[in-house]
């Protein structure tokens, strides 16, 4: 089976050169297919071909092929860059070294490396080595202090997924087809027509279908599988909630605080404070506010208005809302800070012109201010999403511990619960790898979609 994968990789290498590159030639076909084969062979060899072993399931085969495909693809990207350089499309060296040379310094090839070495060492020690270690751990059954570990191949991953390999391939393909279909529709329809509006709706639906497809790919649990669907849903709801509330709230407050007020500097400084608080403290604060026995909020509502507030930790919706509120509040200061800085770049002449033209304040906000701060919005989208994915552990641990019955347990909370608290390093590592892939995918997607709509002024 591995040989089959390698043959396919070799053919793909040739096809890639034929269709994606400008100067196809026989030697280049050879180099590309050799690189593709080598790239595809890395993971199965490193893992001892366990994904194709006799006892491997269809899902294991699929994951093994998937890794081979990724390896081949990365190798081909490298080959592509190499050929482009050979064709002189990319300058031989970066501009920086050229400038230094131009200004009279003579230096060996090793000088840039020497200057870079502190950063590289830090990256290797604190980033690349742990990352590689995480990948190795994710294929093992292992615990801290254990005398041995057991290789489980893709077991830690496949138990999070549904068991039918055909569906696992079909769902993402359907979502992908929906996206490309919607794109095609948009290009074929003229702006302003009903057809275009339909296409716009379809493209939103297609994006949502990606989330639905992923939902369908995760295991609902039972039969020895881990119920990962609820974790996925919780992560989506809580992350989207935090980012939406945090950014909309941050923008709204920043816009209000930006006006010329007496003592505005004091307000602006005070508004930034929540950012200096750690997620754990935010969790404790909101725990104290909403706690059913000792909370100020609950106590106040009960004693002043006679409203009997239910325990938020026993109701999924309330518990999620409380987590979103606490986490969004904590990131609010950060967003306000950046929006305040961003608002200073809004061109005043345009605002004045708009006022003279009789634009309402909402129109001015929507058509001038929002596009002007779009680089900030894009930056905040990435950082807020990273925060929502990675930093909410402490808040959740203090407020709900995943209650009620796992309804507020998001991906990062599960990773720490499984990997650290229960000591199951392999499963924890596998879930981290999953989150790692998700973050990369979301970031790439953001760069492709939001990135194109961001205006950095000027042109």
Looking at beta carbons only, is 280 or 437 nearer to another protein? 280
What's the rounded Cα separation, in Å, for the pair 418 and 426? 9
Residue 80 or 299: the one with the smaller Cβ distance to another protein is: 299
Q: Which is nearer to another protein, 69 or 380 (CB)?
A: 380
84 near another protein (CB under 8 A): no
96: which residues sit within 8 A by CB, 6+ positions away? none
Rounded Cα distance between 230 and 239, Å, is 14
**Binder to another protein among 8, 31, 82, 141 (CB under 8 A)?**
141
List the end-to-end C-alpha distance of the chain, in Å, as a whole number. Answer: 53
The least distance separating another protein from the CB of residue 273, rounded to whole angstroms, comes to 10
Please identify, among the stretches 32-40, 97-105, 110-118, 309-317, the one whose residues bind another protein according to the rule CB under 8 A. 309-317
Alpha helices in 258-275 (DSSP H): 264-272
Candidates 30, 58, 375, 404: give the one binding another protein (CB under 8 A): 404
| 335-394 binders of another protein (CB under 8 A) | 337-338, 340-341, 344
Least distance CB 147 / another protein (angstroms):
5
Binding segment for another protein (CB under 8 A), chosen from 24-32, 54-62, 65-73, 138-146, is 138-146
Quote the CA–CA distance of 282 and 435 in Å, as a whole number: 24
CB of 104 to another protein, least distance (A): 34
Nearer to another protein, 210 or 318 (CB): 318
**Burial environment of residue 315 by CB neighbours within 10 A (0 to 12, 13 to 18, 19 or more):** middle
445, 378 contact by CB (below 8 A)? no
State the burial class of residue 302 (Cβ atoms within 10 Å of its Cβ: 0-12, 13-18, 19+): middle
Q: What are the Cα distances from residue 236, in Å, to 96, 104, 376, 409?
A: 42, 55, 23, 11
Token pair of 36, please? Answer: 């593709």
Q: Which is nearer to another protein, 60 or 414 (CB)?
A: 414
DSSP 8-state code for residue 141: E
Nearer to another protein, 312 or 389 (CB): 312
Region of 22-30, 291-299, 350-358, 432-440 interacting with another protein (CB under 8 A): 291-299
Contact set for another protein, span 237-276 (CB under 8 A): 269, 272, 275-276
User: Which residue is it, tokens 């769902």?
Assistant: 171
Instruction: Single out the residue of 91, 148, 259, 448 in contact with another protein (rule: CB under 8 A).
Output: 148
Q: Does 459 contact another protein by CB under 8 A?
A: no
Quote the DSSP letter at residue 25: -
Binding site for another protein (CB under 8 A): 141-150, 224, 269, 272, 275-276, 278, 291-294, 311-314, 334, 337-338, 340-341, 344, 400-406, 417, 420-424
């Amino acid at each position: 089976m591995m040989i089959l994968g390698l043959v396919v990789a070799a053919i793909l290498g040739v096809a890639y050169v034929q269709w994606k590159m400008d100067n196809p030639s026989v030697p280049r076909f050879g180099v590309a297919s050799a690189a593709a084969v080598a790239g595809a062979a890395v993971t199965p060899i490193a893992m001892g071909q366990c994904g194709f072993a006799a006892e491997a399931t269809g899902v294991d085969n699929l994951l093994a092929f998937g890794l081979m495909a990724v390896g081949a693809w990365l190798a081909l990207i490298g080959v592509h860059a190499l050929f482009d350089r050979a064709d002189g499309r990319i300058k031989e060296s970066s501009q920086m070294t050229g400038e230094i040379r131009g200004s009279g310094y003579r230096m060996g090839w090793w000088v840039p490396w020497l200057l870079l070495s502190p950063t590289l060492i830090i990256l290797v020690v604190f980033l690349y080595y742990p990352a590689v270690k995480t990948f190795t751990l994710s294929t093992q059954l292992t615990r801290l202090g254990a005398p041995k570990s057991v290789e489980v191949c893709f077991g830690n991953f496949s138990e999070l997924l549904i068991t039918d390999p055909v569906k696992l391939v079909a769902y993402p393909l359907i979502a992908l087809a929906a996206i490309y279909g919607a794109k095609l529709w948009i290009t074929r329809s003229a702006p302003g027509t009903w057809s275009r509006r339909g296409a716009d709706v379809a493209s939103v639906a297609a994006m949502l279908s990606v989330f639905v497809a992923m939902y369908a790919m995760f295991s609902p649990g039972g039969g020895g599988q881990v119920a990962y669907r609820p974790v996925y849903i919780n992560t989506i709801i809580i992350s989207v909630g935090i980012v939406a509330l945090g950014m909309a709230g941050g923008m709204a407050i920043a816009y209000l605080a930006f006006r010329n007020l007496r003592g505005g500097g004091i307000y602006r400084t005070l508004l930034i404070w929540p950012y200096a608080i750690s997620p754990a403290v935010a969790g404790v604060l909101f725990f104290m506010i909403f706690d059913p026995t000792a909370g100020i909020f609950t106590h106040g509502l009960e004693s002043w208005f006679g409203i009997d507030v239910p325990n938020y930790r026993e109701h999924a919706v309330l518990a999620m809302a409380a987590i979103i509120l606490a986490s969004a509040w904590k990131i609010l200061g950060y967003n306000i800070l950046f929006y305040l800085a961003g608002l200073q770049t809004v061109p005043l002449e345009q605002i004045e012109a708009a006022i003279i033209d009789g634009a309402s304040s909402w129109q001015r906000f929507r058509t001038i201010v929002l596009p002007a701060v779009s680089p900030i919005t894009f930056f905040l989208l990435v950082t807020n999403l990273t925060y929502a994915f990675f930093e909410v552990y402490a808040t959740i641990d203090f407020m709900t511990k995943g209650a009620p019955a796992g309804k507020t347990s998001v991906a990062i909370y599960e990773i720490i619960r499984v990997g650290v608290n229960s000591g199951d390093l392999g499963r924890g590592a596998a879930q981290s790898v999953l989150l790692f892939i998700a973050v990369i995918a979301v970031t790439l997607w953001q760069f492709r979609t939001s990135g194109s709509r961001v205006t950095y002024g000027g042109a």
